[in-house]
Structures are given as C-alpha cells and as structure tokens.
Amino acid sequence: MSIVETKTEARPKPGRALPFAKAVGRFLVAAVTTYLGLLAVTFFIGRVVPIDPVLAILGDRAPAHVVERVRREMGFDLPLYQQFYIYLKGILAGDFGTSVLTTNPVMVDIKRVFPATIELATLGTIIGSVIGVPLGVLAAVKRGSFADQIVRVIGLIGYSVPIFWLSLISLVIFYAKLRWVAFPGRIDIVFEYSFTPVTGFYLLDSAMQGQWDVFYDVFRHIILPASLLGYFSLAYISRMTRSFMLNELSQEYVVAARAKGLSETRVIWGHALRNAAVPLVTVIALSYAGLLEGSVLTETVFSWPGIGLYITNSLQNADMNAVLGGTIVIGTVFIGINLLSDLLYRTLDPRTRTR
Amino acid sequence: MMMTRLNRSFRALSAGAALSILMLAAPAAFAETPKDTLVEGFAIDDIITMDPGEAFELSTAEMTSNTYSLLVRLDMADTSKVKGDLAESWTVSDDGLTYTFKLKPGMKFASGNPITAEDVAWSFERAVKLDKSPAFIITQFGITGDNVTEKAKATDENTFTFTVDKPYAPSFVLNCLTATVASVVDKKLVLDHVKPVTPSADYKYDNDFGNEWLKTGYAGSGAFKLREWRANEVVVLERNDNYYGEKAKLARVIYRFMKESSAQRLALEAGDIDIARNLEPGDLDAVAKNADLASESAPKGTVYFISLNSKNENLKKPEVQEAFKYLVDYDAIGATLIKGIGEIHQTFLPKGQLGALDENPYKFDVAKAKELLAKAGLKDGFSVTIDVRNTQPVTGIAESIQQSVAQAGIKMEIIPGDGKQTLTKFRARTHDIYIGQWGSDYFDPNSNADTFTSNPDNSDAGTVKTLAWRNTFEAPELDKEAKAALLERDNDKRAAMYQDIQKKYLANSPFVFIFQQTEVAGYRKGVSNFKLGPSFDTNYVGMIGKE
C-alpha cells in the first residue's frame, strides 16, 4: 500500500456532508448487505469444507443409527439453502445456536472468550501506538540517520518474524530464564476461586474490586503476550507514521511554521503530527481491529482463552454455529471500529465537519 | 532547544531504567503450585460433555473415571481381569445369561445420598435410552430402550441383576461394564435436574434424563468431585470426602488447558504445572535431562496402522498387501519418530488386553517386497496416494514409508489434511491408503477383533462402518472365529482364539500395523505416586501426593 493511496482513501472528500437521515440509511443498507454477504460466504464455505459435521459432534465411534439420528436432528439432511434459511431465522430471533464443542449457546461462549481477546488487543494496541508513533516520528525527522535505520529494522523484524517463534523465544527468556512474567493463561490458579470476574476484563475487574495482588498477577500474565502483539502493531504503526510524517514535513505550512520561528518541537508535534494524525487514526484502528480477531498463534502458545483460539478450534471441528457467531461478532466489531474511526476523523479533520 | 532535547531523551532513558529496575525487583520467587493442589497441563480440547452416559472422548474418560464409580473396574495388577468397585461380589447364572451383583454396604454419593442398586439400574436405563455414542457398549448385549428396565434392574436395595441375550464369555461382559458409560449416577440428584422433552420418532421419552445438566454438572461418587469444567480452559476436581474407598491424598486436581508441547515443558520446568501431559519427543528429551523432573509412561490400547483400500485394484492383491508389510522401516521408525511415545507392534490387539500377541515377524526387506510385487505382476511398481493428517508422528511415518516403498518402485503421493478431513474421507472409503490409529472402545479384545474383521455389508450403502468396511475388506472366516471367541467362557481358550485370529490376520489382511501408542508425561520430582494406566480411563489421580 503506497502512502499516496492511503491518503486519498483515508480522507473523505470535503464538503459533501450528507443529511443525517440519509447517512444513517446508507449506513444501515451497507451494514445489512455486509452482514448477509459475510454470513452467506462463511456458511457455505463451512458447509463445503470436506468435514462431516456429525463426525465432529459424535466422534469416530458412534454407531450408524446414532449418526443418522443426529444428522436429522441437526438438519444436515436438508438442502443447503434451507439450512441457511433456518439459521438466518434463528439469528433474527436472537438465537445463534449452540456450540457443538462446548455445548453452550454460542453467545454465552463468545461473552466468555471475547473479553480475553479485547483486553489483550487493547493493551497490545496501546503499547504499539504509544511506542510506535514516537518511533515513526523520530525516524521521519531524522530521515536517513542511524536512528531511522534502527526504527526500520525494528519494523522489518516485526513484519517478518513469525509470531509463533517469537512468542516461544520470549517465553524462554522472560518467563523461563528471567521469571519476570507469569504463564500460562490469564491468571494464576491460586486466584482461580478467590477472584470472581464481573466484566471479563481481569485487569479492570481486579482493580475495581481493589484486589491488587490479583491485579499484579493478571498484569504479569498479560504483559508478555500484549507486548508481543504490541510489537507487531508497532512495526506497522511506526512505518506508517514515518510515511505520513515525511509527507507532512515536506508541506509548505511546515516551512511557514519554521519561518515564523516556532520551536522545532512545536512544528513536529504540534503541527506536522496533528495533520498526520488523521490517517494515522485509521491505521491504528485497523491494526486494533486486526488484533481483535484474535491472534490464534499467540493465544495457542500462551493458552489464552480468546476468540481466535475459539473460532479456529470450532472451524477445525466444523462447529458451524460457533464459527458463524464468532464471524458475526468480529464483523460487527470491524464495522463498529470503522465507524468510530470515521467519527474521530470528523473531530480531527476540520474539513470534514459539517457546518 | 538542545536542552529540551537532552531533557527529553534523558527523561525517556531514566523512565526506561526505572521500569527495568521495577521489573527486576518484581518477586522473582520460584513459581510453585499450592501444596494441596495438583496442576496438570493437558490438551483437554476434546472434551465436549461430562455426562458419563454421553462422553466418549479420551480426556473425558480420565475425568469420568476419577469422579464416578463403576460396578467393576480393571484390575491394575492384571488388566485381563476385573475387580469390584461398587460391587462386593458377583455371580453368573449357569446358563451364562444373568449376572447378579451385590453392592458393598453403606456407600454414599458425593451429595450424601446413599448408593443403591436402584441408582445402578437407573444409570443403565438412562444410558440406553439416551442412546448416545457409547451406549452400544451396553446395548450390544441385546438391551433396548423397551427392555432395559427388565434386563438391568434392582432386585433389592443392594442387589443388581443384568441379563444378557447370549451366553457370552463373562470376561467380555465384565470388561464392558468397566467402560465409563456404565458409571453410576446419583438418581435422586439427577432427577432434580431433568428437562422435559417432546417425544419424537427418534426419541420416545418425555425427559432428557438430566443429560443437559450433566453435560457440565456432576452426580457421582468417585475419589474426586467434578467442581468445574470450562471448555478449553480448565477442569477442576475436588476431593470427595464421602468416597467409600481410600480418600484422595490431595484436595484438588486442576487440569489447565495447554495445547503446545513446548509451552507445557516451559511451565513444567518453571513449576507452574506439576505434570505435563502432551510432551513431544524433543521436549521429553529435555525433561529426561532435567534433575528436577521425571517421566512416566504406559502403553495405551491404541494401535497405529496404514490400511490399503481394496477398491484400488492394485492394493487388493494379497501379494501387494504383504509387500507393504515388508516395506515399512520398522527399526528406523521405532528408533526416531516414535521414540518414547510408542513401540513397534504388528498385531491388532494392544499389549495388556486378553489375547494380545507379542509377535513382530515383519522386517524391512525390499528384495522380498519386490519379489512379491513381481508375483502380483507389478514388478515396475505403481502409483498410489496416502491420506495423512497434518500432525506428528503420522506425517513423519508417512514420509518414511513414502521413501521405503519408492525403493520397490511404488510412487506414493502424500495428501495432507486436517484430522477431521482425512477421517471423513476414510469413513467414505474414497482413499487409497490411510494412516490412522484405533483405540479400543472398551477394554476387551472383542472391540478390536470386531472392527478389524467384521463387515456385514460390504456395499457402499453399508452402515456398519467398521475398519474392515472402510477398506473394502472381507474376512468371513476370521469374523466367524471372533464371534465364536465371544461366547467362549473359558478365559484361556478365549485368549488362544484371539491369538489364532491375529496370526492369520498378520499373514493376510490389508492392514499394516506399525506401533502401539505409549502415553508419556513429564512430572516434577515432588509429585509422588503418579502412574499412568493401560487405558485412558485408568489414569487415576486419587493416590497422587505432593511433597
């Protein structure tokens, strides 16, 4: 993706603010079509996968008559379009079906696994942007310097090293050797029954309940996977920040600002970064949304009970209700985050504000 | 301006330094699990239900056998025999049809309810009527939803009778009753949780026998109580103080879901788990070298094989089938790929079961194989495919076989796939060669003898998808012999019959058995009395202690 492309894509054309109602209507139509498409594609892919879903439910040992009975019970003997119709009807009634693997209603499962992923992704994104943006700015300001090269190498490594490998290596270093962090899972078993999560965000829950020893334990569990995810978003964010900043720094207003004697700090952080921030918001939002899908490999290595692991596991077992439910939730999050970054745009970029 | 910059970098630097000092100062104490709690790292993602009448997964077998009681259990001293669990004694009627069990007196469920013969009868009734995957282990004795209350009933508070339809070998009946599906549930407790169901053609009863509740609930009387199961997270067992046998040493056993072998090893080395259950050969080596750790292993009732589908004209030829048995480099596979996790085994009954045959006559012999291929008119070899699921050790074994068959001119193409995907294809018998494993459904030779020899309807429409059917293989003579062994009431004679079947099977079948699985686990030296059993439902945790 070149810088120019991102920029033109990222900035809505000024002066074309739609009347509110029309905008909402348009958004709804787009959202509904997106959802339908998403569901249809996932559903049909899930059904043409060469895995017998009954096999996933019953295992290899079930006698023939049980297999046939379950096939009927689950409606797998009906034509595909009919199965899809039945599924859609269920969703409209708020019934996302039951997961075969966990036997819970899909939404109950997702309520349990999604907060784990959100917590991890949020912390990861915070780490990624708090470090990535300044690094990108630094690299742009000192273009071609040693610092710039370093930032680029950091970015390159983040881009190209497999996260699975890096996760294990960092576990060996920070967990096994240095013992700075805790592992596995989200919380030590000592606290398993003295701590009751309310929201599912353990950091938040433990802080709200004033259980600081739990908070510390949760922090020690989350910091390594979050840093790793942070590192990967950092790689992307710093690279994009560098590009946006380079672009801004070559603009005439920067020359003007310098000419009127503003300090370099103000020129860079106050003027150039402010302008670069507009497309940057999209970049950060997209990388956040990417992390929210759940990083399957990170979750596997760290035994993190998140949505990535949940959906992958379900997919491998042809547990379609769970896969579809997860897809809907992630789709919603994507659409939501896109909308949110659009809104942020309006506050950051005066030209897109309606008068 | 220079100053501001300096200041800025100085601030950043000092903040960074402060942070690292903080990290270093963080309690670097050695991680340790609580003294009264055993923590196991275990890939428990196969668990889909905790209802003993429904569960048929390997990890669940371990949970069920530690939390529920049975009438009889395998005798760990000699696994070809059983001993009483709830049952104090039992007798078999002269016609071999009626089994009468006397229960030990004064036993209680974890809930405090007394254990009566009525609970036993109802447990059989619900398993049969629910008719889930493992129900056939009971219904194969001619028990149906219509006659179960007559065939499995309490004659008084402490006496339970079980009536079968043929004079089977008593060892067969008793072995089947050690399966987890025959676990005794607390009738009174479960009845509080039944859900009404609208009867249909497929399910004639008006309630679910507590199935939905028991998926995550618990109503047993084992050494441990099931406190909680959260899918892909944790299973928590707690000591059952009402247990009638020797009380568990530890207050709690926690199984943490951990998928990765290397991650399990790290946690084991660090002391965050006491036992690592899914270690691969590389990590096992590391455990062996670590002075704080030890390992435990036991052969399991699972055999690995490659099977040749007779739908393929080449693979149908007996000479070709035998040639394949000479084209596996058993020694190399045993020394590397399955080192520590299996041992070479060429017959279908796993070691430990009645009638097991410890004979491995085949050796890697290309010349012999070429001779056989020439006899089959295929001296220039042929091309064939093998479906392989993308996990170890099967991928490695398939690659090894690919190389060794190439020496005899056979071009074998590997088709990799996800586990469920290759299995779906195998069950539809559209493969040429399949590499797979089979674990006995219950701890009796009939389980394997039946699936490897019986094939009542070899047409594509056949519904009894035994392993013989899946490879389009018929062996009516052996099938007859296996059925006869089922009715042989003399244990030694019965064992000899299975040995005879296996010898004939070795010489003439499309199955090339490679090895029997060994289950291994690494554990910290502080853990005492940790033993793995011969099957997945005999991995008992009750006697495990910690220092």
ipTM, 2 dp? 0.80
Chain A residue with CA closest to B437: the answer is: A60
The answer to whether the CB atoms of A73 and B260 lie below 8 A apart is no
Compute how many other C-beta atoms are within 10 angstroms of the C-beta atom of residue A56: 20
Mean pLDDT of B434-457: 93
Q: pLDDT at position B483, please? A: 94
In this structure, are strands B82-84 and B87-92 parallel, antiparallel, or unpaired? unpaired
Residues from chain B that touch A165, judged by Cβ atoms under 8 A, are none
Query: Is B299 within 8 Å of B534 (Cβ atoms)?
Result: yes
Q: How many CA atoms lie within 13 A of A306 on its CB side?
A: 30
pLDDT band at A18 (very low <50, low <70, confident <90, very high): low
Tell how strand B159-163 and strand B98-103 pair up.
antiparallel
Range B155-160 average pLDDT: 96
Interface test with A, best of B21, B22, B133 (most A CBs within 10 A): B133
Contact A66 B132 (CB under 8 A): yes
Tens of pLDDT along A301-326? 898 989 988 888 888 777 888 888 88
Computed over every residue of chain B, the mean pLDDT equals 91
Q: How many CB atoms lie within 10 A of CB A317?
A: 24
A63 chain-B contacts, CB cut-off 8 A: 133, 136
Q: Which residues pair with B293 in a beta bridge?
A: B524
Distance CA B243, CA B38 (A): 19
Range name among A305-314, B48-57, B62-71, B406-415 with the lowest pLDDT average: A305-314
Distance from CA of B381 to the nearest CA of A (A): 31
Q: What is the spatial distance between Cα A288 and Cα A306, in angstroms, rounded to a whole number?
A: 15
Backbone angles phi and psi of B454, in degrees to 5:
-85, 135
pLDDT at B21: 45
Q: What is the pLDDT of residues B277-336, one digit of tens each?
A: 999 888 998 999 999 999 999 999 899 999 999 999 999 999 999 999 999 999 999 998
- Chain A residues near residue B424 by CB distance under 8 angstroms: 50-52, 55
Contact (CB, 8 A) for B143 and B135: no
A300 touches chain B (CB under 8 A): yes
Which residues touch B262 (CB under 8 Å, ≥6 apart)? Answer: A168, B280, B283
- Are A335 and A31 within 8 A, CB to CB? yes
- Cβ <8 Å between A56 and B33: no
Across the A:B interface, residue pairs with CB atoms under 8 Å apart total: 139
* Spatial CA neighbour of B340 closest among B395, B279, B401: B279
Sorted by sequence, the CB contacts under 8 Å of residue B386 that are 6+ apart come out as B306, B398, B401, B402, B412, B413, B414, B415, B431, B432, B433, B434, B435
Q: Which residue of A has its CA nearest to B230?
A: A102
pLDDT at A353: 60
Average pLDDT for residues A52-68, to the nearest whole number? 79
Helices and strands of chain B, counted as H and E runs: 20, 19
Q: Return the axis-axis angle of helices A273-292 and A106-141, rounded to nearest 10°.
A: 150
pLDDT of residue B9 exceeding 50:
no
A185/B233 Cβ within 8 A: yes
| C-beta atoms of B257 and A183 within 8 A | no
Q: Which residue has the higher pLDDT, A103 or B318?
A: B318
CB proximity A109 to B under 8 Å: yes
Q: Which residues of chain B lie closer than 8 angstroms to A62, CB-CB? A: 56, 132-133
Are B252 and B239 within 8 A, CB to CB? yes
Mean pLDDT in residue range A191-216: 86
Selected residue of B48, B273, B454 to mutate for chain A interface (largest A Cβ count, 10 A): B48
Q: Which residues contact A63 (CB under 8 A, 6 or more apart)?
A: B133, B136
Q: Cβ(A165)–Cβ(A297) under 8 Å?
A: no
CA distance A300 to chain B (A): 7
CA distance B368 to chain A (A): 36
State which H helix or E strand residue B239 sits in. Answer: strand B234-239
A273-292 helix and A212-249 helix, angle to the nearest 10 degrees: 130
pLDDT at residue A145 greater than cutoff 50: yes
Q: Sign of torsion, CA B440 B391 B337 B469?
A: positive
Quick one: pLDDT band at residue B14, thresholds 50, 70, 90? very low
Q: Which residues contact B469 (CB under 8 A, 6 or more apart)?
A: B429, B455, B457, B458, B462
Residues 120-159 of A with CB under 8 A from B: none
How much is the pLDDT for A71? 85
Give me the mean pLDDT over the B491-513 stretch.
95
CA distance B55 to B161: 24
Q: B1 falls in which pLDDT band (50, 70, 90)? A: very low
Q: Cis omega (within 30 of 0) on the bond before B393?
A: yes
> How many angstroms separate the CA atoms of B328 and B315, rounded?
16
CB count, 10 Å around CB of A225?
26
Question: Do the Cβ atoms of B263 and A305 come within 8 Å?
Answer: no
pLDDT score of B503: 95
Residue A3 has pLDDT above 70, yes or no: no
> Which residues of chain B neighbour A191 with C-beta distances below 8 Å?
none
Q: Which residues contact B542 (CB under 8 A, 6 or more apart)?
A: B66, B223, B224, B245, B246, B248, B249
Instruction: Classify burial at A117, counting beta carbons within 10 Å of its beta carbon; exposed 0-12, middle 13-18, buried 19 or more.
Output: buried
pLDDT bin (cut points 50, 70, 90) of residue A354 is: low
- Biggest CA-to-CA distance, chain A: 85
Tell me the CA distances in angstroms from B520 to A164, A331, B340, B533, B543, one per residue in order.
25, 42, 7, 11, 18
Give the closest of A49, A265, A310 to B232, CB-based. Answer: A310
Query: Are B178 and B172 in contact, with CB atoms under 8 Å apart?
Result: no
Say which residue, B57 or B101, is predicted with more confidence.
B101
Percentage of chain B surpassing pLDDT 70? 94
- Tell me if A181 sits within 8 A of A221, measured CB to CB: yes
Statement: residue B29 has pLDDT above 60: no
A37 alpha carbon, distance to own chain's centre: 21
- The alpha carbon of residue B54 and the mean position of all alpha carbons in its chain are separated, in whole angstroms, by 15
Query: In what side-by-side order are the strands of the sheet with B152-156?
Result: B87-92, B98-103, B159-163, B152-156
Distance from CA of B379 to the nearest CA of A (A): 36
* Assessment of whether the complete model's pTM goes beyond 0.90: no
- Look up residue A207 and give its two tokens: 């802080």
Helix ranges (DSSP H) in B376-490: 394-406, 419-427, 445-453, 467-470, 476-486
Query: Which has more confidence, A286 or B159?
Result: B159
Flag if A302 and B31 touch (Cβ within 8 Å).
no
Yes or no, beta carbons of B272 and A310 under 8 Å apart: no
| B133–A59 C-beta distance less than 8 A | yes
CB contact (8 A) between residue A302 and residue B421: no
Whether the CB-CB separation of B321 and B510 falls below 8 Å is answered with yes
Cis amide prior to B196 (ω within 30 degrees): no
Residue B19's pLDDT band (boundaries 50, 70, 90)?
very low
- Over residues A16-44, the mean pLDDT reads 77
Minimal CA separation from B94 to chain A, in Å = 32
CB atoms within 10 A of CB B371: 16
State how far the Cα of B474 lies from the Cα of B9, in Å rounded to an integer. 80
Q: A-chain residues within 8 Å CB-CB of B425?
A: 50
- Cα distance from B421 to chain A (closest Cα, Å)? 5
Q: Is B254–A171 a contact, with Cβ atoms under 8 angstroms apart? A: no
Choose the weakest-confidence range: A90-104, B253-267, B308-322, B499-513: A90-104
Taking the C-alpha atoms of residue B240 and residue B235, their distance in angstroms, rounded to an integer, is 15
CB contact under 8 A, A179 and B31: yes
CA A135 distance to own-chain centroid:
22
CA distances from B354 to A118, B185, B447 (A): 53, 29, 11
Residues 6+ apart with CB under 8 A from B303: B345, B348, B350, B437, B438, B448, B513, B515, B516, B517
The structure tokens listed for A77 are: 């003997």
Closest Cβ opposite residue B34 in set A66, A178, A190: A190
Instruction: Look at residues B172, B232, B113, B181 and name the one whose alpha carbon lies nearest to residue B447.
Output: B172
Q: Tell whether the model's pLDDT for residue B18 goes beyond 60.
A: no
